[in-house]
């Protein structure tokens, strides 16, 4: 199996409720290693660039506003099939559809305020990691 890296974001609804440690424990329990991590405050414009793929969606403005509302924790997770594994640990985008034991089932407040983001494919993982981290900040 391939060792992959993926970009994870612990979103404002989760940092506000002091859930960073509980969410990190879910990643580590699933065998994912946190090989880079920092807490930052995004501007709405920066959130807009990160989520540019959703520009035409009706929730885009609300999403960017929310992502800039409080600090986020951005992370690089590494492990076997890390992209898929992280998406399994996160659960479905809408917490109402998320499987029991997943981060979103346990912690997410709504489809918009859903506690975590994770890259969806190798290409996007590479781009998203590069958006937040330099090579020097990633210690595998």
Which residues are annotated as catalytic? 117
Q: Quick one: 14 or 136, whose CB is closer to ligand CMP?
A: 14
Helix axes 82-90, 20-29, angle to 10 degrees: 130
**Could you say whether residue 93 binds ligand CMP (CB under 6 A)?**
yes
Q: What whole-number distance in Å separates Cα of residue 115 and Cα of residue 77?
A: 16
Q: Quick one: 58 or 140, whose CB is closer to ligand CMP?
A: 58
Task: Extract the tokens encoding 53.
Answer: 């793929």
**Which DSSP state fits 28?**
H
3-state secondary structure of 100: coil
Residue from the set 6, 15, 114, 119 that interacts with ligand CMP by CB under 6 A: 114
- Count residues binding ligand CMP (CB under 6 A): 9
The residues that bridge with 126 in the sheet, in sequence order, are none
**Could you say whether residue 131 binds ligand CMP (CB under 6 A)?**
no
Alpha helices in the chain (DSSP H): 12-16, 20-29, 44-50, 60-67, 82-90, 103-107, 122-132
What are the binding residues for ATP?
A: 11, 59, 87, 93, 104, 114
Q: Quick one: 85 or 117, whose CB is closer to ligand CMP?
A: 117
Of residues 47-66, those binding ligand CMP (CB under 6 A): 54, 59, 62-63
Contacts to ligand CMP by CB under 6 A: 54, 59, 62-63, 93, 111-112, 114, 117
């Amino acid at each position: 199996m391939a060792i992959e890296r993926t970009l994870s974001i612990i979103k404002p609804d989760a940092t506000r409720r002091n859930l960073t440690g509980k969410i990190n424990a879910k990643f580590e329990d699933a065998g994912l290693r946190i090989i880079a991590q920092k807490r930052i405050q995004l501007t709405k414009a920066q959130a807009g660039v990160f989520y540019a793929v959703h520009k035409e969606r009706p929730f885009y403005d609300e999403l960017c506003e929310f992502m800039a509302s409080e600090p986020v924790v951005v992370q690089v997770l590494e492990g076997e099939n890390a992209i898929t594994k992280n998406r399994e640990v996160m659960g479905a985008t809408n917490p109402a559809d998320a499987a029991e034991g997943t981060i979103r089932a346990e912690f997410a407040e709504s489809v918009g305020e859903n506690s975590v983001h994770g890259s969806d494919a190798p290409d996007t993982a590479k781009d998203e990691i590069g958006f937040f981290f330099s090579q020097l900040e990633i210690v595998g």
